[in-house]
Structure 1
Amino acid sequence: MFEKVVPVNRERHAKTRIREMKGFGFAAKFHIAYVTMHEFSRAAAVYPIVFVEDQEKDSFRPVALIGLEAGENLFVGADGKWEASYVPAIIRRYPFALAATGSEGQFTICIDEGSPLVSDTEGSPLFDDKGEPTQVIENVKRYLAELQQMDQLTQQFCTWLKANNMFTPLNMRVRDHDKVKNIAGCYVVNEERLNNLSDERFLELRGKRFLPAIYAQLMSLAQVERLISLKDRRVAEAAKAVAE
């Protein structure tokens, strides 16, 4: 999704403008999208939510499955429109991102200069004639700060689940048109271990307000059927186009 990410700089980006986002073609080849635990309730109504392991950091991150195979986003149509009621925040923040500065708790706003949304002639400017940040920068700063806070709480959520041995590998066999496909390499909350938690641990879980996210994740797995239906539709449309 990102091609050339650099920190926003008033000299370098004095003439930089941001075009209005009219489509999501930039995300057409991504089959997963990171989601924070605060998004689970809305995302679970559309996407299966699973956890992927970052072995280098020895941690887990929740993602929404938006495709059955790498390189295919089943929710971006040929016209670039997102064909679902909820778009993950990480997609909506494009072409901006946050990067750690090296100082603890400090981040800087970055922009993808390779994005088709970035222009020197069209759209809303990042800086005014005096070199001061415009409302675009202020809005992005506020939005990314909120996402960063949600990300920190999501990391705490995943750390608790890992520390309490709540993750279990997902091994699911699904029909992919005329074949059977294995969904593996990701994790889900182990429902049996959840039900067998001690009263002390369960009350701790409730006190941290993690329970809604856990239940949303478990219920979201039913959305795998939605992915299969979307895949079948794509295959049928491609076959029809070839026949014509």
Structure 2
Amino acid sequence: MNTNYVLLNNVEHADLNVVSHFSSALGDGAAAVLTFPTEFENIQREYPILLRKDTQGGAFQAVAILGLQKGENLFLDDDAKSTNGWAGNYVPAMVARGPFIVGFQESEDGDAPQPMIYVDEQSPKLSREEGAPLFLEFGGNSPYLDYVSGVLRTIHQGEEVAREMFAALDEVGLLEPVSINVDLKNGDKHQLSGYYTVSEDRLNNLSGESLQALNGAGYLRGAFLMLSSLGNIEHLVARKNARL
């Protein structure tokens, strides 16, 4: 899918709306999306959280699992019970952000680059005729744009926390490879492979000094949230079975 990110502004984009519905046709069909420690509290209630290695730098990244095979998002639901096409109570930030990202713009006075909102003008979620407006009639931010700003803040702050957190967990040996085998009621089998998770055994046997360091940095709670999220794999399988 082609993208064309430009700096969002209330002149060129004064009459721009965003279709806040979720569907495969609108680009929401991913089976896994990046997630961040800044939203783990909400994510772990509904989605399994696993780790994978970034293909470029090899750093660990967290992902929320939404489906069991490529291009399958089991939380997309167009029935009458779901007003926005999403069956879950919490929409992961990387989905909720829609066609927006945080970019950095150089300042004219030589200060550090400032985070700004950029919009993908090629996104199918943009419209001049329907959807939620981005700006008020006289130029102020709409409630929807304020919401998006909060979502982007969750991502931006979460990226920084994630790098340090996962490196710290890896340094004390808490991360291990995991493969999850799934048997469906129709006999089909799926495997979630290439992922990592927190080792519960190693966590239980971690030295007091390491536990104290992780807890002091705020990373220990994140590790427990990742572990507790794995119970959602059963719910994911139930969603899949319900569609067979």
Residue number in structure 2 paired with 1:29: 29
Q: Match of 1:54?
A: 54
Q: Percent identity?
A: 28
Q: Report the number of matched residues.
A: 233
Would the alpha carbon gap of residues 9 and 96 (structure 1) be closer, same or farther in structure 2, given more than 3 Å must change? closer
CA distance in 2, matches of 1:123, 1:181: 37
**Aligned CA distance change for structure 1 residues 127 and 65 (closer, same or farther; 3 Å):** closer
| Distance of 2:240 and 2:20 partners within structure 1 | 26
SS in 1 for 2:51: strand
CA contact (8 A) 2:36 2:62 kept: yes
Q: Is the 8 A contact 1:38 1:213 kept in 2?
A: no
2:207 corresponds, among 190, 198, 201, to 198
**Unaligned 5+ residue runs, structure 1?**
236-244
Q: 1:5 to 1:190 in 2, by over 3 A?
A: farther
Structure 2 CA distance, aligned partners of 1:64 and 1:21?
20
Compare 26-35 and 116-125 and name the one that shifted more.
Answer: 116-125
Aligned 1:1-244 pairs, distance under 5 A: 3-10=2-9, 13-25=12-24, 26-79=26-79, 81-100=85-104, 106-123=114-131, 126=134, 134-135=141-142, 140-176=148-184, 177-235=186-244
| 2:235 partner amino acid | R
Quickly say closer, same or farther: Cα 1:182–1:126, change in 2 above 3 A: closer
TM-superposed deviation, 1:124: 5.5
Residue range with higher mean Cα deviation, 132-141 or 164-173: 132-141
CA gap of 1:65–1:14, structure 2 versus 1, over 3 A, is closer
Deviates more, 1:73-82 or 1:99-108: 99-108
TM-score of the aligned structures, taking structure 1 as reference length: 0.82
Render the CA deviation track for 1:204-242: whole Å, top value 9, x for unaligned: 01111222211111121121111111111112xxxxxxx
Structure 2 CA distance, aligned partners of 1:228 and 1:63? 17
Amino acid at match of 2:218: R
Tell me how large the CA RMSD over aligned residues is.
2.8
Provide the rounded CA distance (Å) in 2 between the counterparts of 1:181 and 1:138.
40
| Cα distance, 1:127–1:41 mapped onto 2, change above 3 Å | closer
Residue identity opposite 1:228 in structure 2: V
Deviations 1:75-122 (A, max 9, x none): 102456111222111211112111355897643322122323312344
Checking the alignment, whether the CA contact within 8 Å between 1:53 and 1:60 is kept in structure 2 is yes
Change (3 A) 1:64 1:141: closer
CA distance in 1, matches of 2:60, 2:104: 19
Cα distance, 1:62–1:54 mapped onto 2, change above 3 Å: same
- C-alpha contact 2:51 2:196 (8 A) present in aligned 1: yes
Unaligned stretches of 5+ residues in structure 2: none
- Residues 153-162 or 117-126, more deviating: 117-126
Aligned counterparts of 1:23 and 1:98: Cα–Cα separation in 2: 21
Please give the secondary structure, in 2, of the residue aligned with 1:205: helix
Mapped to 1, the partners of 2:134 and 2:93 lie a distance apart of 21
CA contact (8 A) 1:17 1:122 kept: no
Structure with the higher helix share, 1 or 2:
1
